Amino acid sequence: MTLSSILIQLLNGLASASSLFLVSAGLSLIFGVTRIVNFAHGSLYMLGLYGAYTLIEVLGRTPLGFWSAVVLAALAVGIAGVLIEVLVLRRVYRAPELFQLLATFAVVLVIKDIALFAWGPEDLVGPRAPGFDTAVEILGKRIPSYDLLLIAIGPVVLAVLWLLLTRTRWGALVRAATQDREMVGALGVDQAKLFTSVFFAGAVLAGLGGALQIPREPANLDLDLAIIADAFVITVVGGLGSIGGAFLAAILIGVAKAFCIGIGTVDWFGLEISFSKLTLVVEFLIMALVLVVRPYGLLGKPQAVQRIAAEPSPPLTAPTWKMALVWMAVLVAVPLVADRYVTILLTDIVCFALFAVSLHFIMGPAGMVSFGHAAYFGLGAYAAGLLFKQAGLPMEAALLLAPLCAGAFAIVYGWFCVRLSGVYLAMLTLAFAQISWSIVFQWDSFTGGSNGVLGIWPSAWLADKTTYYYLALACCGLGIAFLWRVLFSPFGFTLRAGRDSPLRAEAIGIDLRGVQWAAFVLVGALAGLAGAVYAFSKGSISPSAISIAQSTDGLIMVLLGGVETLTGPIVGAAIFTWLRDEVARRTEFWRAVMGGVILVIVLLFPQGLVGGLKALALRWQEQRA
C-alpha cells in the first residue's frame, strides 16, 4: 500500500465514522438514563435516511433545500422518538427490563412496515449534496468533498454534546440520572419529562446520522438491524454511557472497516487472505478483543447498581407428568386428523419450541441474556447440512453430530461470554452470532454463501411429512424434557443460585464461571439440535438462520410467553410461529401486525402471556374463594 492509498482509506473510514458516532451517541445517551436497550434505534436511523430523501424531493435539490431537509428529517425522527417513549416505553418502565426490550423489538417491526408502506421495497438513491458534489484532490487521489464535511461534523457534534452535558442544567440532570435516577426523582425532578427529552435528543442524533448518509448510501429496509448491530458494537467498545468512548470507538471501527475494504486480497507467505471479506467481521473481532481486555469498554465504568430493586424471580415449578402426557398425546394425535399443512406448521413449531426453551434456559435460570442465540441454531443447521452434503454422511449421522458441532462453537464463544455480565454479555453474544453469520454468508465455496445449502432432505424412511414430524417431535421433546430435568438437578440449582446472588454462590465454593460455561455449551448444543431438525425439514438452509432477526425472533418467543415460567417459551414459540404464518399469508405487512400484537401484549400482560394468564387465574380463584 502506498501512502496516498492509506490516506484515502483513513479519510474514508473517518467519514463513515461520523454517522456511526451520531447513532451510537444517541443510543448511549438513551441507555444511560433509561436503562433501555433500544433496539428501535436503528429504525430511527433508517427513518432519518428515508425522511431526508423525501424532504429533499419536496424542498428541492438546492443547498438550502438539502440542508433544511437534513435538519427537518432529524427533528422529525426526534418527534418519532418522543412518540415511542410516550406511547410505549413510558408504560413499561416499571416492567422487567427484558420486557422493555420486547417492546422495542415490536417497534422495530412496526417501523419497518411503515417504511415499506410509505416508501416501498426498492432502494432509494438520494442526490448528492449541493455544494459538496465535487472531489478534492489530496496526494493525487480524489476525495469527495462531502466526505471531508462529514469528517468535520463528527467532532463538532461531539463538542456540542459535551457542552450540553457539562454546561447546562439538562446535562447535569442527564448525568445524574445515568448514575441514580431514583435519587434525581427524590430531588424533585420529573423523570418522565427528563426521559422524554433524552429520547428526543437520542432520536435526533440517530435521525441526523441517517439523514447525513443519504448522499452516500441508498435508503433501504435492511438498514435498521444492520446499523443497530454497528451501534451496539460501538457503544459497547467505547463503554456504555460514554459519549467520548463512542467517538473513539466509531473512529476505530470506521477506519478498520475502511482499511479492510481497501487492502483487498493479500498474499502472505502463500496464504491468501481476503481482507475485504473481513469487513463484515472486523468490528466484532475488535469488540471481542476489547471486552476481554476491558470488560466495560474503552472509556466505560462499571455499571451503576440498579436502585430499583427488581422482584426476585419466583421459584420455577416443574410441569406435572400428567399435563406433559396429555400434551404429548395431543401432539401425537394431531397429524392423524389434520392436513399436511398443519403437520408442516407443527414441525416448525416443535423446532422453534426447543430453540426458545434453550434460550429461556440461558436467559432465565442461568441469568445470561443472549442477543445472538441464533448462532447455535444456525450453526447446528449448517453443520447438519454440510455434514450431509460436503462430508457425505448419512442424514441420521449428520443429525446426531450437528448438535455436537454447535456445542463446539459454544465452547469457544461461551469462554469469552461468561467473563462478562449484563448488557455487555448480551452484546458479545450478538457479536459472535454476527461473526458466524458473516463467515457463513461469505464462504461461498463451502457454505454456499447467500444461497445457503440446498437439497438436504431426510432419508427415505423419513421422507413422509408426518413421519418426519414424529422424528422432530421426539428429538425436540426429548431435548426440552432434558433441559427441564437439568433445571431441577443440583446443576440447575447452582445456576439459579449464581444468578440470584453471584457473590454468595462463589463464597460457598461454586465455580460460577465454570457452571455458566457448561450451561452455555449445553444450550448451544440443544439449539443446534433444533437447527438440525429444522434444516432437514425444510430441505435447505440459508444464512438467515443465523441472522439478528432470527435471534430476536427467539427473544420474542421467550418474552412473549414469559421468562418466569417453563412452559412460557413453548407457548410463545407456538403463538409466534403460527401467527407469523397466518398473518404473512394474508398481508404484505405482517411485521406491523405482529409488532402491534406484541405491543398490545406488552402493555396488557407485563409478565408475558403465560405469567399473565396464571395471575388472572389466581385472581379468579381468590374471588371465588
Q: How far is CA 276 from CA 8, 180, 296, 431, in A?
A: 16, 44, 29, 19
Which residues, other chains included, contact 229 with Cβ-Cβ below 8 Å and sequence gap of 6+? 42, 430, 434, 548
CB-count exposure of residue 159 (10 Å: 0-12, 13-18, 19+): exposed
List contacts with another protein (CB under 8 A). 169, 172-173, 175-176, 178-180, 182-191, 309, 311-312
Comparing CB distances to another protein, the nearer of 179 and 540 is 179
Q: How far is the CB of 300 from another protein (least distance, A)?
A: 12
- Minimum distance between the CB of residue 568 and another protein, rounded to whole angstroms? 22
Q: Which three cell numbers stand for residue 537?
A: 425439514
- The span from the first CA to the last CA of the chain, in angstroms, equals 81
Angle of helix 275-293 relative to helix 422-442, nearest 10 degrees? 160
**DSSP conformation letters of 107-170:** HHHHHHHHHHHHH-SS-BPPPPPTT--SEEEETTEEEEHHHHHHHHHHHHHHHHHHHHHHHSHH
Q: How far is the CB of 294 from another protein (least distance, A)?
A: 18
Nearer CB in complex with another protein: 178/537: 178
* Closest alpha carbon to 319 in 115, 89, 570: 570
Residue 150 contacts residue 250 (beta carbons within 8 Å): no
Min CB(553)–another protein separation in Å = 33
Least distance between another protein and beta carbon 78 (Å): 24
CA separation for the pair 440, 448 (Å, rounded): 8
- Residue number, 11 or 177, with CB nearest to another protein: 177
524: cell is 448451544
> Rounded to the nearest whole angstrom, what is the least distance from the CB of residue 618 to another protein in the complex?
15
Quote the least distance from Cβ 513 to another protein, whole Å.
Answer: 29
Instruction: Name which of 68 and 179 has its Cβ closer to another protein.
Output: 179
C-beta of 309 vs 507, nearer to another protein: 309
Type of residue at 189:
V
* 171 vs 218 by CB, closer to another protein: 171
Select 293 or 310, whichever has its Cβ closest to another protein: 310
Cell 458441532 belongs to residue? 405
CB of 90 to another protein, least distance (A): 13
Q: What DSSP assignment string belongs to 389-447? A: HTS---HHHHHHHHHHHHHHHHHHHHHHHTT--HHHHHHHHHHHHHHHHHHHHH-HHHH
**What's the CA gap between 336 and 351, in Å, rounded?**
20
Query: CA-to-CA distance for 72 and 56, rounded, in angstroms?
Result: 10
Would you say 10 or 95 has its CB closer to another protein?
95
Between CA 89 and CA 2 the distance in angstroms is 51
Q: How far apart are CA 330 and CA 319, in angstroms?
A: 16
- Closest contact distance (angstroms) between CB of 169 and another protein is 6
Residues in the chain, how many? 625
- Rounded CA-CA distance 300/283 in Å is 18
CA angle 457, 460, 466 (to 5 degrees): 80
C-alpha cell at 450: 447467500
Phi, psi at 40, each rounded to 5° = -80, 0
> Which residue's CB is nearer to another protein, number 145 or number 179?
179
CB of 408 to another protein, least distance (A): 42
Q: Which residue has the cell 461531539?
A: 158
Q: At closest approach, how far in Å is the CB of 103 from another protein? A: 21
Q: Is the CB of 192 or the CB of 328 nearer to another protein?
A: 192
178 vs 220, beta carbon nearer another protein: 178
Nearest to 234 by CA among 254, 212, 211, 262: 254
Q: Cβ of residue 297: shortest distance to another protein, in angstroms?
A: 16
The single-letter DSSP state of residue 260 is H
Contact 447, 529 (CB under 8 A): no
Please say which residue, 122 or 182, places its beta carbon nearer to another protein: 182
In the complex with another protein, the residue whose CB is nearer, 186 or 330, is 186
Give the CA diameter of the chain: 86
Kindly tell me which of 13 and 606 has the beta carbon lying closer to another protein. 606
Q: How far is the CB of 192 from another protein (least distance, A)?
A: 9
Contacts of 532 (CB under 8 A, 6+ apart): 380, 381, 383, 384, 398, 399, 402, 403
Q: Nearer to another protein by C-beta: 270 or 312?
A: 312
**Sequence-ordered alpha helix ranges (H) in 509-586:** 512-538, 548-561, 568-586
Q: Least CB distance from residue 367 to another protein, whole Å? A: 18
Type of residue numbered 114 = I
Q: Tell the smallest beta-carbon distance from residue 188 to another protein (Å).
A: 3
- Interstrand relation of 453-454 and 540-541 (parallel, antiparallel or unpaired): antiparallel
